[in-house]
Amino acid sequence: MTDTEAGDSGAGDSRPVVYDLAPDCTLEDASVGEQYHAVVNGVVEYGVFVDISDHVSGLVHESNLDRSYDVGDRLIVELVEVKDNGDIAFGVVDSDDYRTEVVDHEIALTPVETLGTGDTATIEGRVVQIKQTGGPTIFHVADETGIVACAAFEEAGVRAYPDVELDDLVRVAGDAEEHEGALQIEVDDLTLLTDETAEEAEERLDAALAERAEPATPEPLVEWDAFAKLHDDLQEVARLLRRTVLEGRPLRVRHHADGDGMCASVPVQMALENFIAEVHEDPDAPRHLFKRLPSKAPFYEMEDVTRDLNFALGGQARHGQKLPFLLMVDNGSTEEDVPAYQNLAHYDIPIAVVDHHHPDPDAVNDLLDAHVNPYLYDEDYRITTGMMCVELARMIDPEITDDLRHVPAVAGLSDRSKAEAMHDYVALAEAEGYDRADLEDIGEALDYAAHWLRYDDGKSMVNDVLNVGCDDEARHEELVEFLSTRAQRDVDRQLDAVEPHVEHEMLASGAHLYRIDVDEFAHRFTYPAPGKTTGQLHDRKVQETGEPVITIGYGPDFAVLRSDGVRLDIPNMVTELNDEIPGGGVSGGGHLVVGSIKFVKGRRGDVIDALVEKMADADLDEELSSTATLDD
C-alpha cells in the first residue's frame, strides 16, 4: 500500500503525484493506478522491462511504447495490472508536470499476541529481558500487545547483538516457532531502532502501554465512604502493577503471615498471575515472574531484604531479568521498615505498600513509589488490608470477582475489624453460602496453616483453605473445619497452661493489669506463639472483666503489650525507657493499644517494672481497644 501520509507536504498542490519507491519496497508498497519513477532494465522484442524498486519489476508492452529505450533509461510509468501469475504490466506516462513523493518500504509489523507457530513475522518493541544461555541469546521483547522471547544465535554461549541493551527499542524479524512449549521467534535479523524510528516507536509503545496499564474500575463490593477515600490510591497501585507486568519486570510480594495478610496477598497473586499469563507468550511466565513470600516479623527484616536483594541480583545475573517490583502487603508502613528499604534504594527496585498498620509516612514515603494506608486518610485499621487488596485485585483483573466475594469478610473477622461495613461484607459472604462462623473458622485456619508453613507460601493449601481457586468445596470445608478446630484447641490448651500463672493487679487508674511470663509458662515453639498467646489472654480478660485491661506477655528479652480502654502511646514509652534504663537496650514499637518491645535479658526486671509504672499513669480512654486489632 502506498505511503500517502508522505503527501502532506503536497497539500494544496494539484499536480499528479509520481512516487519514488525506496529500493527495498515490495509490491505491497505500490498500488494499481498510481504512477512511479522507473528505470529500464531490459529490452526485448515485445517491449521493455522496468524496475520501480529492487523488488518490483514489470513489462511495458511495445504497444504502449512510442519510442525506443535503452537499458538504464529513466521514465515514468503507471502500474496497470498485477496478473494472477504475479507478472506486472506497466504503461508509460508522458508527463512533466508532477510532484515526486518518496515512499519508504512499509514493514508489516505483526502484533505479538497474534503470533502463531510457523509465522514469519517482524515485530517492534522494547527489550525487557536479555538472557544469555549456553546457546542463543534470548531477548524478551514487549510490543503493544504482549511479550515474546526472541532467540538470536551468534555462537554457543556468546552474546548476540552485544550493542542491544535492556530497554532498547528493536525491530526483530524471524520465524515464530515453538520452543519447550512456548512460542519463540528465531531471529533472522534484529535491528536497534534509532532516531525518528525509535522516537515514533517509543511514542506508540508508551501510549499503548499507558492505555493497557490502565486498571479496571469495578464497583467496590460494598459501598462505604471511608473506603472510597482510598480508591484513587488503589487505582494508582493497580496501574503500577499492571505496568510492571507489561514491562516484563518480575514481582515479589512480601506479606504479613496471618489471616488478613493472606486474604490480601492471595487475591493479588491470582490477579497478577492471570495478567502475566495474558501478556506473555510463555505459559511459564507467571511462575518465573511472580513470587509471594510470607514474612514472620511484623516488619521487613534485614535478613529478608538481604535475601530478597540477593535473589533479585541472581535473577538479573543468571536470567537477565530486570530487578523486581516489591509489593508489601499488610506490612511495610512503619519506621521499622526503613533500614530494609534503604538497602534497596541503591537498586532499581520500585516499592509499593498496601498496609493498615499505623504508618510513619514521614519515615517511609520518600522510599516508596506508592503507599496506601487508611491512616493517611484519617481512617484506621478497621479497613483491613484484605479489604483493600480484594479491590486492588479486581482492578487488576475484574474477572476474578466471583472468587473473592467472601474474602473481605474473612479478612475483617480475622483482624477483628469493627468497621461498620463489616455487616455488608459478611452479608456478601453469606450470599455465597458462608455463615459468620465459617468465615471466622477460615481466618483461624489460615493463621494456623501460616504458622506451620513458616517461610513457605503453601499456595495450594492456602488456596484450599481460603477457597480461592479451590476446585473442591468439600475439601475446603473439611480442611477449614479441621484446622480451625485444631487451632482453637491449641489456643485453649495454651491458655489453660498460662492461666494459673497470670499475675493480676489493679492499677491506680482503675485498669486491670495482667502479666504473664510466656517463656516460663506457655508451651514454646508451638501454636499459638507468644504474641498470639498474649492477645488471646488479653481478649479473654477484657471479656471477663468488661473493664479497662492491660496485658503484658513477656519472655527473656521481649514483651508484647495489649490494652483496652487505656491509652498507652507505646513509642513514647520506648523512648522514655531507653533514657531511664541505660544498657537496657530497649527498642520496639507499636501505637496506642498494641506494641512489642525488646530489651537485653539482664535488664528485664527493670524494664518491666518501669513499664508497669508508666502504665499505671496512663489515661483511660474507653474508645481504645486492641481486641479489635492485629498482630497476635
Q: Which of residues 603-622 bind its own copies (CB under 8 A)?
A: 603
Q: In 3-state terms, what secondary structure has residue 242?
A: helix
Each residue 565-594 as x (binds its own copies by CB under 8 A) or -, in order, gives -----------------xxxx---------
Residue 160 sits in the site that holds its own copies (CB under 8 A)? no
Task: Write phi, then psi, for 526 (nearest 5 degrees).
Answer: -145, 180
CB of 178 to its own copies, least distance (A): 6
Selected from 219, 482, 506, 613, the binder of its own copies by CB under 8 A is 482
Question: CB neighbours of 434 closer than 8 A, spacing ≥ 6?
Answer: 406, 409, 442
CB of 10 to its own copies, least distance (A): 47
Q: Which helix (H) or strand (E) holds 351?
A: strand 351-354
Instruction: Pick the closer one to its own copies by CB: 220 or 315.
Output: 315
Residue 278 sits in the site that holds its own copies (CB under 8 A)? no
Beta bridge partners of 321: none
Residue 281 sits in the site that holds its own copies (CB under 8 A)? yes
Phi and psi based region of residue 96 (left: phi greater than 0; alpha: psi -120 to 50; beta: remaining) = alpha
Residue 194 sits in the site that holds its own copies (CB under 8 A)? no
Selected from 4, 114, 310, 575, the binder of its own copies by CB under 8 A is 310
Cα separation of 285 and 182, whole Å? 10
CB of 485 to its own copies, least distance (A): 9
Instruction: Pick the closer one to its own copies by CB: 436 or 459.
Output: 459
Count other Cβ atoms within 10 Å, centred on residue 496.
Answer: 9
Nearest CA-CA partner of 111 in 83, 153, 148, 74? 148
Residue 306 sits in the site that holds its own copies (CB under 8 A)? yes
Residue 486 sits in the site that holds its own copies (CB under 8 A)? yes
168-187 binders of its own copies (CB under 8 A):
178, 180-183
- Per CB under 8 A, the segment of 104-112, 396-404, 424-432, 600-608 that binds its own copies is 600-608
CB of 601 to its own copies, least distance (A): 5
- Per CB under 8 A, the segment of 28-36, 239-247, 305-313, 507-515 that binds its own copies is 305-313
- Per CB under 8 A, the segment of 228-236, 363-371, 451-459, 588-596 that binds its own copies is 451-459
Each residue 237-276 as x (binds its own copies by CB under 8 A) or -, in order, gives ----------------------------------------
Residue 454 sits in the site that holds its own copies (CB under 8 A)? yes
Sheet strands (E) in 207-347: 251-256, 290-295, 325-329
Residue 283 sits in the site that holds its own copies (CB under 8 A)? yes
Residue 501 sits in the site that holds its own copies (CB under 8 A)? yes
* Spatial contact of 53 and 29, defined as CB atoms under 8 Å apart: yes
Residue 41 sits in the site that holds its own copies (CB under 8 A)? no
Residue 479 sits in the site that holds its own copies (CB under 8 A)? yes
- Per CB under 8 A, the segment of 99-107, 141-149, 309-317, 358-366 that binds its own copies is 309-317
Selected from 15, 74, 307, 504, the binder of its own copies by CB under 8 A is 307
Classify residue 177 by burial, with Cβ atoms within 10 Å: 0-12, 13-18, 19+.
Answer: middle
Alpha-carbon 192 to chain mean position: 29
Rg over alpha carbons for the chain, rounded to the nearest Å, is 34
C-alpha cell at 121: 513475522
- Per CB under 8 A, the segment of 100-108, 225-233, 282-290, 386-394 that binds its own copies is 282-290
Residue 118 sits in the site that holds its own copies (CB under 8 A)? no
Question: CB neighbours of 221 closer than 8 A, spacing ≥ 6?
Answer: 390, 391, 394, 401, 404, 405, 408, 425, 428
Q: Which helix (H) or strand (E) holds 34?
A: none
Cα separation of 404 and 429, whole Å? 9
Nearest CA-CA partner of 100 in 74, 80, 122, 64? 74
Cα separation of 272 and 247, whole Å? 13
Beta bridge partners of 423: none
507-546 binders of its own copies (CB under 8 A):
517, 519-524, 527
Residue 148 sits in the site that holds its own copies (CB under 8 A)? no
C-alpha cell at 424: 455488608
Count other Cβ atoms within 10 Å, centred on residue 64.
Answer: 17
Selected from 313, 431, 437, 506, the binder of its own copies by CB under 8 A is 313
The residue assigned the cell 548476540 is 160
Residue 460 sits in the site that holds its own copies (CB under 8 A)? yes
Instruction: Pick the closer one to its own copies by CB: 67 or 346.
Output: 346
Alpha-carbon 554 to chain mean position: 38
Cα separation of 59 and 50, whole Å? 6
Sequence letter at residue 397: D
Residue 159 sits in the site that holds its own copies (CB under 8 A)? no
The residue assigned the cell 490480601 is 264
CB of 188 to its own copies, least distance (A): 18
Residue 162 sits in the site that holds its own copies (CB under 8 A)? no
For the residues of 439-507, what is the DSSP string, one character each?
A: HHHHHHHHHHHHHHHTT---HHHHHHHHTSS-S-HHHHHHHHHHHHHHHHHHHHHHHHHHGGG-EEEE-
CB of 158 to its own copies, least distance (A): 9
- Per CB under 8 A, the segment of 164-172, 228-236, 239-247, 337-345 that binds its own copies is 337-345
Selected from 81, 87, 303, 492, the binder of its own copies by CB under 8 A is 303
Instruction: Pick the closer one to its own copies by CB: 498 or 630.
Output: 498
- Per CB under 8 A, the segment of 27-35, 39-47, 133-141, 569-577 that binds its own copies is 133-141
Q: Which helix (H) or strand (E) holds 209?
A: helix 195-213
Residue 314 sits in the site that holds its own copies (CB under 8 A)? yes
Selected from 166, 598, 608, 621, the binder of its own copies by CB under 8 A is 598
Cα separation of 429 and 442, whole Å? 12
Nearest CA-CA partner of 202 in 244, 242, 256, 142? 142
- Per CB under 8 A, the segment of 30-38, 258-266, 342-350, 423-431 that binds its own copies is 342-350
Instruction: Pick the closer one to its own copies by CB: 374 or 588.
Output: 588
Count other Cβ atoms within 10 Å, centred on residue 102.
Answer: 11
Selected from 2, 316, 373, 414, the binder of its own copies by CB under 8 A is 316
Residue 500 sits in the site that holds its own copies (CB under 8 A)? yes
Selected from 136, 250, 374, 412, the binder of its own copies by CB under 8 A is 136
